[in-house]
A and B are shown apart, each in its own frame.
Chain A
C-alpha cells in the first residue's frame, strides 16, 4: 500500500524586542547568567506581569505577513507545569484566543514536470508567550544551575495546518517562514542561539484516505536539515509499523542527530495536564483596528514579491531568484551590487557560486562579508569590460576576501589584467600552432576537440591573461 505523510510544524521564534514580554529586562542573548532578571521574570512572590507592547506589535506584524486574521480581543492564559526553568510554575501563553488566527504561507514545491509550483500551507494560529530559563548541567557536580536570562523573552509560536506532504515540503516551509520573519525584522531566526525552534508532527495515511492517522510529535530538532531527516526517519518507521500491521502510538519522540533516529520521550498518557485558565493578572483588552492598519503600513516587501520583482526586472532564473530572496541579507547584498549597474546574471552567479563558498569556508555570513557589494560589482565590471577573464576573477575574489581591497587594486598590483591586444595574441598563437602540428592536423581532419587543446595552450602561454574570446577568434581564423 502507498502511504501519504501528513506533516504539521510548530515553530517558536524569539521576537526581536529590546526587553522581555512582561518586564523591562533586556532580552539580549549571551549575557552573564541571571544578569537580565528582575522580580517579575524571576517569578518572585507578589510580582506582576505588564505586557510589552512592542512584542505585541511584532506579533501582529508577523500575523499580517502570514495573512492571518488579527484578533480584536486579546487575552492571556496560564499554562501550569513544574520545571526548574519555569520560575512561576506556569507559562503565560495564549490558549483559546491567540493574537493571530487562520493564515497561510505560500511555498514553492516541484510541479512534477521539473518546474516549480506554488502551494499554500495553512497557518492555524500564531500566538504570544514567554520563554523559559535554561538549565545548565555541564561541569556541575551534584545538581544543576538555572539561568533565568531567557525567562520571559517573548516568543511567537506559529502552528501550521497539517498541510505538508513530505520532508522536503517541511524544509521549504521553514525556509520560507524564516525568510518572511527576517524580512519583517520580527526575529533573527538564529537556530544556533535558539531564537528559532521547531517541533514536527507527522502521521501516515493510505493514499486517497481523508481521515488522519495517529501522529507522533518530534522534538529536539536543531536545524532545518534535522527536521527533514527526522521526518524521513519517522515516516519510514511508521510505514514499517503499518506494513507489519502494528499500531502507531501517539507520543512525543526525541530526534537523536548522532544516531539519526527518533526515540520515545513520553506517551500521550504521560502528557502534562496544563490546567490552562485565563491569566487573572492581565486583563483582556481590545486591539484597535487603527493600530493594526498602522502596523500593516510598516510591512516591507516580502520574499514572494521580491522574488517576482527580481525575476521580472533582472531576468533571473526562478531558481536563482528563489535562493537569493530566501535570505534577506543575501538579497540585500545582491541588490546593493546591482546599484552599480552591472550584469545581474553575472552578479547572481558570482555570489551564489563563488562568494557563498568563500563565506562558508570562513564560517561567516553575507552581512559580514569582507568583500563589500561595491567591490563585488567592481569585480563584475572588470569581467564585463574584458579586463580580466572569469578564470582570473576566480583568483582575484579570494584575494579581495582576504584583504578587503577592490578588484581594481588587486588586478593592477598583481598585473593580472587580460591581454586583449590582437597582435600580441596572434604572436602567441603562431608559436603554439608551430609547436603543435599534430593537433592542428587533427583539427583540420575534423576533430573539433583539438581546438580546445590549442586554446588551452595559448591561455597557458599567456599565463591565463589572454582574452579567451579573442583567442578563439584568432585561432579559428588562422586554422581555416
Chain B
C-alpha cells in the first residue's frame, strides 16, 4: 500500500476507511488539493458541505470514501454550472441518479471538476473558469472535456472521479493523463441529472487510477433508472468477477482503418507493443475492418451538435442562470446567450441549428443518422468475429495549451478514435499503456459489444497487472 493516503486507489481507500474511518483520507486529499489545484485548476469547487458530513456507514460499499464529479452532473444544493458563465450560480434542487446511487453506496461527494464548457471540447480549454493543466506537463492540456476529472485523479487530488463521454470526453483525457476512463454502453448508466450535450451519445462513467476501481464504481452506478427512458433494463453483473479471469483465447481485433497517417509514431508503437502483451497473455490478435470509420467524425459533428443546439435552448435567461439586462424579450435572449456562452458553445449551437433547419435536415441530420447506423453495423459485424477491438485512444499524446484552440478541425480530429464507440453506443475503456520519450502518457482503448463491460474489465485488468504502467506518477 502507498505511503500517503492520497495515493491510495479507491479500493485501498475503502479498506483503510473501513478500519480507520474516512476523515484522514479526506484531510489528505484536501491538503493535496490546496497544494496543487492552483497549478492544475482541476477543481472548480471543493469547499462543499457534503464532504464534511460523516457520509455513510464505514461498512457500506464505499465506506465514506470521496469521489469527485464533473461539473455537468447535478448535485442538490451545490452550484453546478457546466463550467459556463450562463449557468454561473445555478443550484440544482435535485441529485443526479448517479449521485444518489453513489451516496446510497456510502460515497462522499468531494468537489466538482473543471471541464470544457458544456463538454464542448477535447482540451478543457473552453472552460469559463480557465484551462485545466496536465499534471504530467503543466504546459499541456489534460484532454477533454472531462479534463478536470482526469487531471484530479492523475495528480492524486481525487481517488476517483466521474466524467461524461459524448465523443470521447472520458477516454481521451484519461489517456492524456495516464489514468483509466470508462465510457459504459449507452443506457448502462442513468443520464438523469447529467446536463445534456448530445442526448443520444452521452454517458456518465468513472475515471480512476486502476481498472479494479472502475469496475467497482460502475457496479454502483449502473442499472435501470425509471427516470431515464433511455436507460437499459439490463441486469447489472458483478463487475469485480471478470477481474479474476485470464484472457486465454480472447479474440482482439485491430481495426486497419485506425492505423493510418496522422497517428503519432510513439502512440502507434505503444499500441503495437500492447498487442504483443495481449498475445503473450494468450489472447488472439487479428486485423479487422470498420469501413465507415472515415465518416465518424463528420457524422458526429452533425448529429451531436444538432441535439446540443436543442438541449442548450433552455439557457435563455428566463428561469435560471445568467440574465442580461434588455429592453425586450428578443434582446434578453440575444444578450444573455451572447454573454453567457463561450466561442465553442456558440459554434456548436450555430452548427446544430443549421443542420436541423428546414431545407437542410435531410441532407445533414437525416443522412447523418443513416451513416450512424452504418457505423453501428460495422461494429455488429466485427463483434461477430472478435470479443474486443483494440486501438489507440487518441492519435497523439497531450498537446500544448493553445496549440489547437484556434483550429476547431484539428481539435475535433483528436477524438477520431473515440467517437465511433459513441456513434455505435458500445462500451469502451482507455487504460494507460506506456509513455512517450517526453514522458507523456499514452492510452490504449478497448471496445466491446453492447453491455460487454465484463469483457473489457477482464482484458484491461489482465493487461494492467502485466505492465503495471499505472504505478508511475507525475512529478508535481
Interfacial residues, chain A to chain B (CB-CB below 8 A): 39, 42-51, 78, 80, 82, 84, 87-90, 146, 273, 275-277, 280-283
Q: Are A46 and B200 in contact (CB under 8 A)?
A: no
Q: Which residues of A contact B234 (CB under 8 A)?
A: none
Q: Are A44 and B93 in contact (CB under 8 A)?
A: yes
B window 122-152: CB within 8 A of A: none
B358 at the interface (CB under 8 A from A): yes
B window 298-347: CB within 8 A of A: 306-307, 309-310, 313-316, 318-320, 329, 333
| 9 further contact pairs, Cβ within 8 A, besides A43-B314, A275-B356, A280-B199 | A39-B92, A45-B82, A47-B193, A48-B230, A50-B227, A50-B228, A82-B333, A280-B230, A282-B229
Number of B interface residues, CB 8 Å?
A: 44
Q: Are B74 and A45 in contact (CB under 8 A)?
A: yes
The total of Cβ contacts below 8 Å across the A-B interface reads 101
Partner of B200, one of A48, A82, A273, A280: A280
Most buried by B among A84, A90, A280: A280
Bitwise, B74-95 to A at CB < 8 A (1) or not (0) is: 1000001010000100101110
Q: Are A281 and B318 in contact (CB under 8 A)?
A: no
Query: In whole angstroms, what is the CA distance A84 to B316 when docked?
Result: 9
Q: Which residue from chain B places its CB closest to the CB of A79 in the assembled complex?
A: B310
Partner of B319, one of A47, A78, A87: A87
Query: In whole angstroms, what is the CA distance A82 to B195 when docked?
Result: 19
Query: In whole angstroms, what is the CA distance A276 to B319 when docked?
Result: 23
Q: Are B314 and A88 in contact (CB under 8 A)?
A: yes
B69 at the interface (CB under 8 A from A): no
Q: How far is the CB of A20 from chain B (nearest CB, A)?
A: 14
Q: Which residues of B contact A47 (CB under 8 A)?
A: 94, 192-193
Q: How far is the CB of B411 from chain A (nearest CB, A)?
A: 24
Q: Which residues of A contact B87 (CB under 8 A)?
A: 45
Q: Are A46 and B194 in contact (CB under 8 A)?
A: yes
Q: Are B310 and A275 in contact (CB under 8 A)?
A: yes
Q: Tell me whether A48 and B192 are in contact in the complex, defined as CB-CB below 8 angstroms, given that A80-B356, A273-B358, A283-B230 are known contacts.
A: yes
Q: Which residues of B contact A281 (CB under 8 A)?
A: 196, 199, 229-230
Q: Tell me whether A48 and B365 are in contact in the complex, defined as CB-CB below 8 angstroms, given that A82-B333, A282-B229 are known contacts.
A: no
B34 at the interface (CB under 8 A from A): no
B399 at the interface (CB under 8 A from A): no
Q: Are A78 and B329 in contact (CB under 8 A)?
A: no
Query: In whole angstroms, what is the CA distance A84 to B90 when docked?
Result: 18
Q: Are B191 and A48 in contact (CB under 8 A)?
A: yes
Q: Which residues of B contact A87 (CB under 8 A)?
A: 314, 318-319
Q: Which residues of A contact B100 (CB under 8 A)?
A: none
A-B contact pairs, 21 of them (CB 8 A): A44-B94, A45-B196, A46-B72, A46-B74, A46-B191, A48-B191, A48-B192, A48-B227, A48-B230, A78-B310, A80-B309, A84-B316, A87-B318, A89-B310, A273-B358, A275-B310, A277-B361, A280-B199, A280-B307, A281-B196, A281-B199
Q: Are A84 and B92 in contact (CB under 8 A)?
A: no
Query: In whole angstroms, what is the CA distance A336 to B96 when docked?
Result: 54
B49 at the interface (CB under 8 A from A): no
Query: In whole angstroms, what is the CA distance A50 to B227 when docked?
Result: 6
Q: How far is the CB of B452 from chain A (nearest CB, A)?
A: 21
Most buried by B among A44, A45, A49, A276: A45
Partner of B93, one of A39, A48, A51, A282: A39
Query: In whole angstroms, what is the CA distance A82 to B349 when docked?
Result: 14
Q: Tell me whether A89 and B313 are in contact in the complex, defined as CB-CB below 8 angstroms, given that A46-B192, A46-B194 are known contacts.
A: yes
B226 at the interface (CB under 8 A from A): yes
Q: Are A42 and B319 in contact (CB under 8 A)?
A: yes
Query: In whole angstroms, what is the CA distance A80 to B365 when docked?
Result: 15
Q: Tell me whether A43 and B319 are in contact in the complex, defined as CB-CB below 8 angstroms, given that A80-B310, A89-B314, A280-B307 are known contacts.
A: yes
Query: In whole angstroms, what is the CA distance A275 to B357 when docked?
Result: 5
Q: Are B316 and A48 in contact (CB under 8 A)?
A: no
Q: Which residues of A contact B227 (CB under 8 A)?
A: 48, 50
B289 at the interface (CB under 8 A from A): no
Q: Which residue from chain B places its CB closest to the CB of A51 in the assembled complex?
A: B229
Query: In whole angstroms, what is the CA distance A276 to B318 when docked?
Result: 22
Q: Tell me whether A45 and B314 are in contact in the complex, defined as CB-CB below 8 angstroms, given that A87-B319, A277-B356, A280-B307 are known contacts.
A: yes
Q: How far is the CB of B430 from chain A (nearest CB, A)?
A: 25
Bitwise, B353-390 to A at CB < 8 A (1) or not (0) is: 10011100100010000000000000000000000000
Q: How far is the CB of B346 from chain A (nearest CB, A)?
A: 16
B window 181-200: CB within 8 A of A: 191-196, 198-200
Q: Tell me whether A50 and B195 are in contact in the complex, defined as CB-CB below 8 angstroms, given that A42-B319, A43-B319, A88-B313 are known contacts.
A: no
Q: Which residues of B contact A282 (CB under 8 A)?
A: 229-230
Q: How far is the CB of B425 from chain A (nearest CB, A)?
A: 12
Q: Which residues of A contact B192 (CB under 8 A)?
A: 46-48
Most buried by B among A44, A51, A90: A44
Q: Which residues of A contact B229 (CB under 8 A)?
A: 48-51, 281-283
Q: How far is the CB of B311 from chain A (nearest CB, A)?
A: 9
Q: Are A46 and B196 in contact (CB under 8 A)?
A: yes
Q: Are B318 and A146 in contact (CB under 8 A)?
A: yes
Bitwise, B254-291 to A at CB < 8 A (1) or not (0) is: 00000000000000000000000000000000000000
Partner of B195, one of A46, A146, A276: A46
Partner of B313, one of A42, A90, A276: A90
Query: In whole angstroms, what is the CA distance A146 to B319 when docked?
Result: 9
Q: Are A46 and B318 in contact (CB under 8 A)?
A: no
Q: Tell me whether A90 and B319 are in contact in the complex, defined as CB-CB below 8 angstroms, given that A46-B194, A47-B192, A275-B358 are known contacts.
A: no
Q: Are B310 and A277 in contact (CB under 8 A)?
A: yes
Q: How far is the CB of B300 from chain A (nearest CB, A)?
A: 14
Q: Tell me whether A80 and B313 are in contact in the complex, defined as CB-CB below 8 angstroms, given that A44-B320, A50-B229, A277-B361 are known contacts.
A: yes
Q: Tell me whether A50 and B226 are in contact in the complex, defined as CB-CB below 8 angstroms, given that A45-B74, A45-B90, A90-B313 are known contacts.
A: yes
Q: Which residues of B contact A45 (CB under 8 A)?
A: 74, 80, 82, 87, 90, 92, 195-196, 314-315
Q: Which residues of B contact A273 (CB under 8 A)?
A: 357-358
Q: Tell me whether A277 and B74 are in contact in the complex, defined as CB-CB below 8 angstroms, given that A45-B90, A48-B229, A89-B314 are known contacts.
A: no
Query: In whole angstroms, what is the CA distance A7 to B229 when docked?
Result: 40
Q: Which residues of B contact A44 (CB under 8 A)?
A: 92-94, 319-320
Q: Tell me whether A90 and B310 are in contact in the complex, defined as CB-CB below 8 angstroms, given that A45-B87, A46-B194, A46-B196 are known contacts.
A: yes
Query: In whole angstroms, what is the CA distance A13 to B93 when docked?
Result: 32
Query: In whole angstroms, what is the CA distance A49 to B192 when docked?
Result: 9
Q: How far is the CB of A270 from chain B (nearest CB, A)?
A: 13
Q: Which residue from chain A places its CB closest to the CB of B358 in the assembled complex?
A: A273
Query: In whole angstroms, what is the CA distance A167 to B227 when docked?
Result: 46
Q: Are A46 and B316 in contact (CB under 8 A)?
A: no
Bitwise, B194-218 to A at CB < 8 A (1) or not (0) is: 1110111000000000000000000
Q: Which residues of B contact A277 (CB under 8 A)?
A: 306-307, 310, 356, 361, 365
Q: How far is the CB of B5 from chain A (nearest CB, A)?
A: 33
Q: Which residues of B contact A46 (CB under 8 A)?
A: 72-74, 92, 96, 191-196
Query: In whole angstroms, what is the CA distance A87 to B90 when docked?
Result: 15
Q: Are A48 and B228 in contact (CB under 8 A)?
A: yes
Query: In whole angstroms, what is the CA distance A235 to B416 when docked?
Result: 60
Q: Which residues of A contact B361 (CB under 8 A)?
A: 275-277
Q: How far is the CB of B328 from chain A (nearest CB, A)?
A: 11
Q: How far is the CB of A415 from chain B (nearest CB, A)?
A: 69
Q: Are B316 and A82 in contact (CB under 8 A)?
A: yes
Q: Which residues of B contact A146 (CB under 8 A)?
A: 318-319
Q: Are A275 and B353 in contact (CB under 8 A)?
A: yes
Query: In whole angstroms, what is the CA distance A389 to B358 when docked?
Result: 71
Query: In whole angstroms, what is the CA distance A80 to B87 when docked?
Result: 21
Q: Are B228 and A84 in contact (CB under 8 A)?
A: no
Query: In whole angstroms, what is the CA distance A283 to B93 when docked?
Result: 26
Across the A-B interface, the 7 shortest Cβ-Cβ residue pairs: A89-B313, A275-B356, A280-B199, A280-B200, A45-B195, A46-B193, A46-B74
Q: Which residues of A contact B228 (CB under 8 A)?
A: 48, 50
Q: How far is the CB of A73 from chain B (nearest CB, A)?
A: 16
Query: In whole angstroms, what is the CA distance A42 to B333 when docked?
Result: 18
Q: Which residue from chain A places its CB closest to the CB of B354 in the assembled complex?
A: A275
Query: In whole angstroms, what is the CA distance A49 to B229 when docked?
Result: 7
